[in-house]
Chains A and B, each alone.
Chain A
């Protein structure tokens, strides 16, 4: 894992001191809310429905046990004993007091964490594959490149006031576990003629106008990656619209320019940027990469798993994935208990996951964009002990990628932007489909719920997506089918008129019944939808 150097420490410590003084001045009445708001947002402090909300960055979703315990400590000491893991691999606290914010940021800095650039029109937390460094299908660990992008984008003077927020994801496997093409820039590390390079997909995103990022450059030598990213940003910063917030994202610019013209401008800018020498010398990149060296895993460890406990076997089948090193496995911890709140974890649960990481996973954890937690490096011989501990803490729900593994934004229960509640809908759906046999019969089915058009719940990318809207002061839910955030990326199609809260649960049951009656051997829900189209599902829903 990356460890802060003196520059990282100095930058974060200086920001904590600066923001602490800004908070003091605000509490003393020396500055107005209008003056203070942009300052607090630069430090991840929002004002939500019930209180201040603090969003803490988890770079590319990677944490060690010390950092995870600090997240639990903050939940316990300053919040209401829980945190909410988000769809951008971060964590949010919903009940923060302004007067506590400086102390919290100091605590975070003590474990090399912060909340900088988790809001505002800047480059946000770099996200990545939660199985990075462990996945059997990756060509390299993408995190050194994500870390390089983190350092480049932190306090980047030219990109602190972009036309709109900017999100970057980096992966290095053909299986896309990070919704890479639904980011402003999605980078896939690829191999060509024995060399690794970066494929740049630019102009994706969800929100009001969802778009899949087109391929702008299929192979950028990794020595040029930062310069190419800088060129992409420069063209956007120069021509992105600042007159209309709804048209300010890079996806709109590329849509209006056309991918070819945007590419031409980027290439032209790249020639200039490359001459500036911003790409790091090899020794510096090697210094970063060395900190992501694989943990010392014993490839001769036993590969067999004792499956004599049937509940354990069910969990292994659903939540445990193959590791690149024999005798080891990737443990996916579901934060989606039936009837629970997707992504929420108590401070005790967070502490427990930290303990398990320290004891069984070479001190590493990951946050996933699906609001779950990963222990990336677990010996297969330790799986039973891990499962027992998780089960005792309510963290062993065996539902990864099943219909109850729902992504849901905080919705109108917490969020000041939301139009409708997301969480109660997720709870009702999970409860309706609580029978595990039924869930497994449905197979992989990614259900995603957003409480407003900003799409924090990724509803456009759900095999089944739900969007909450305000219909004359009443919550209403639009259903969409056929989206995907994976390597088979696609955007969902709205089925028709919306439903009330119970109605949308009934509609989903009709959709899944139709799927079971229509599918062919081996077809996932989304495969069947793509084969037969909307009509039979629409008929099942509306008659």
Chain B
């Protein structure tokens, strides 16, 4: 699957394209298929997101999982500060990254 990600203009937080809007949560990310470039161009024009780009991912039972570790760390947060990730209460969240 193909995912579209970037950073929110105001906060810089990692965001994922849901098919209609941007979400902080990778679980909401939509498979953009071959439409990624067109969405990217439109969204860059709307200037709500910084430096969006298309990545490879895989559909899993827990939702989309980016193919590369860098994007999995972006999706969760720093592995060395679980308290600052999007899932601070889940001690196993870091396993998803590795």
Give A residues with C-beta under 8 Å from B. Answer: 26-27, 29, 32-33, 47-52, 80, 94-99, 341, 412-414, 416, 418, 421, 423-424, 427, 473-475
Taking the closest CB of chain B, its distance from the CB of A365, in whole angstroms, is 25
Which of A50, A341, A473, A475 meets B80, CB within 8 Å? A341
Nearest B-chain residue to A418, judged by Cβ: B70
Residues from 47 to 98 in B contacting A, C-beta threshold 8 Å? 47, 50-51, 67-70, 73-74, 77-81, 84
Q: Is the CB of A413 within 8 A of B79?
A: yes
Nearest residue (CB) in A for B47 is A29
Q: How far, in angstroms, from A371 to B39 measured CA to CA in the complex?
A: 43
Q: Shortest CB–CB separation between residue A94 and chain B, in angstroms?
A: 8
Most chain A CB atoms below 10 A, which of B12, B67, B74, B84: B12
A412 and B69 form a contact (CB under 8 A): yes
- Of the candidates B7, B14, B73, the one whose C-beta lies within 8 Å of that of A412 is B73
Q: Chain A nearest CB: distance from B26 CB in Å?
A: 13
Task: Tell me which residues across on chain B come within 8 A of A94, comparing CB atoms.
Answer: 78
Decide yes or no: A27 and B10 within 8 Å by CB, A50-B74, A421-B79, A423-B80 being known contacts: yes
Task: Select from chain A the residue with minimum beta-carbon distance to B14.
Answer: A50
8 Å CB contacts to A: which residues of B1-50? Answer: 7, 9-14, 44, 47, 50
* B residues less than 8 Å from A51 (CB atoms): 7, 11-13
**A473 interface neighbour in B50, B67, B77, Cβ under 8 Å:** B67
A-B CB contact pairs (8 Å), 24 listed: A26-B9, A29-B47, A32-B44, A32-B47, A33-B50, A47-B7, A47-B50, A49-B14, A49-B73, A50-B12, A50-B74, A50-B77, A50-B78, A51-B7, A52-B11, A97-B10, A98-B10, A98-B11, A98-B12, A413-B80, A418-B70, A427-B80, A473-B69, A474-B69
How far is B76's CA from A49's CA once the two chains are assembled, in angstroms? 11
Residues of B within 8 A of A413 (CB): 73, 78-81
Determine if B12 and A97 form an interchain contact, defined as CB atoms under 8 angstroms apart.
Answer: yes
How far apart sit A416 and B32, CA to CA, in the bound complex (Å)?
23
4 closest Cβ pairs, A-B complex: A51-B12, A52-B12, A413-B78, A29-B47
In the complex, what's the smallest C-beta–C-beta distance from B87 to chain A, in angstroms? 14
Docked pose: A95 CA to B70 CA in angstroms: 17
Residues of B within 8 A of A414 (CB): 78
B7 and chain A: residue at smallest CB distance: A47
Check if A97 sits within 8 Å of B11, measured CB to CB.
yes
Contacts of A29 in B (CB 8 A): 47
- B10 adjacent to A473 (CB under 8 Å): no
Chain B minimum-CB-distance residue to A421: B79
Main secondary structure of the interface of A (DSSP, over half): mixed
Q: Which of B9, B67, B70 contacts A49 (CB 8 A)?
A: B70
Contacts of B81 in A (CB 8 A): 341, 413
Q: Which residues of B contact A80 (CB under 8 A)?
A: 84
What is the minimal beta-carbon distance from A205 to any residue of chain B, in angstroms? 26
Q: Chain A contacts of B7 at CB under 8 A?
A: 47, 51
Determine the chain B residues whose CB is within 8 A of the CB of A473 once the complex forms. Answer: 67-69
Asked if A27 contacts B12 (CB within 8 A), the reply is no
> Which A residues lie within 8 Å of B44 (CB)?
32-33
Give the residue of A47, A418, A421 whose beta carbon is less than 8 angstroms from that of B12.
A47
A475 proximity list for chain B (CB < 8 A): 69
Identify which of A50, A96, A412, A424 gathers the most chain B CB atoms within 10 Å of its CB: A50
Cα distance, A413 to B74, chains bound together (Å): 8
Question: Nearest-CB distance from B44 to chain A (Å)?
Answer: 8
Nearest CB of A to B90, in Å: 17
Are A99 and B68 closer than 8 Å at their CB atoms? no
Residue on A nearest B76 in the bound complex, by CB: A50
Q: How far is the CA of A219 from the CA of B81 in the complex (A)?
A: 49
- A421 contacts which chain B residues (CB < 8 A)? 73, 79-80
Minimum CB–CB distance for A33 against chain B, Å = 5
Among the listed A27, A48, A95, A474, which residue makes an inter-chain contact with B9, where contact means beta carbons less than 8 Å apart? Answer: A27
- Residues of chain B with a CB closer than 8 A to A424's CB: 79-80
Contact B14 A99 (CB under 8 A): no
CB neighbours (8 Å) of A96 from chain B are 12
Kindly report which residue of chain A lies nearest to residue B77, judged by CB atoms.
Answer: A50
Interfacial chain A residues near B67, Cβ < 8 Å = 473
Closest B residue to A97 using CB positions: B11
Is the pair A412, B9 in contact by a Cβ cutoff of 8 Å?
A: no
B69: A residues at CB distance < 8 A: 412, 473-475
Note all chain A residues with C-beta closer than 8 A to B80: 341, 413, 421, 423-424, 427
Distance between A79 CB and nearest chain B CB, rounded to angstroms: 10
Distance of B93 from chain A, by nearest CB (Å)? 14
Give the complex CA separation of A52 and B11 in angstroms: 7
Closest residue of B by beta carbon distance from A420: B69
The residues of A that contact B84 with a CB separation of less than 8 Å are: 80, 95
Q: How far is the CA of A31 from the CA of B14 in the complex (A)?
A: 21
A51-B7, A412-B73 known, 17 other contacts, Cβ within 8 Å: A32-B44, A33-B50, A47-B7, A47-B51, A48-B12, A49-B14, A49-B70, A49-B74, A50-B74, A50-B77, A97-B12, A413-B79, A413-B80, A421-B80, A423-B80, A424-B80, A427-B80
User: What is the CB-to-nearest-CB distance from A240 to chain B, in angstroms, rounded to a whole number?
Assistant: 28
Query: Closest CB-CB distance, B39 to chain A, in whole Å?
Result: 16
**Residues of chain A with a CB closer than 8 A to B79's CB:** 413, 421, 424
Docked CA distance A421–B70 (Å): 9
A247 to B67: give the CA distance in the assembly, Å: 32
Give, as a whole number of angstroms, the nearest-CB distance from A338 to chain B.
Answer: 14
A33 touching B78, Cβ below 8 Å: no
Q: How far is the CA of A536 from the CA of B72 in the complex (A)?
A: 39
A278 to B91, CA, bound (A): 60
**Smallest CB separation, A67 vs chain B (Å):** 25
Residues of B within 8 A of A418 (CB): 70
- A52–B69 Cα distance when bound, in Å, is 20
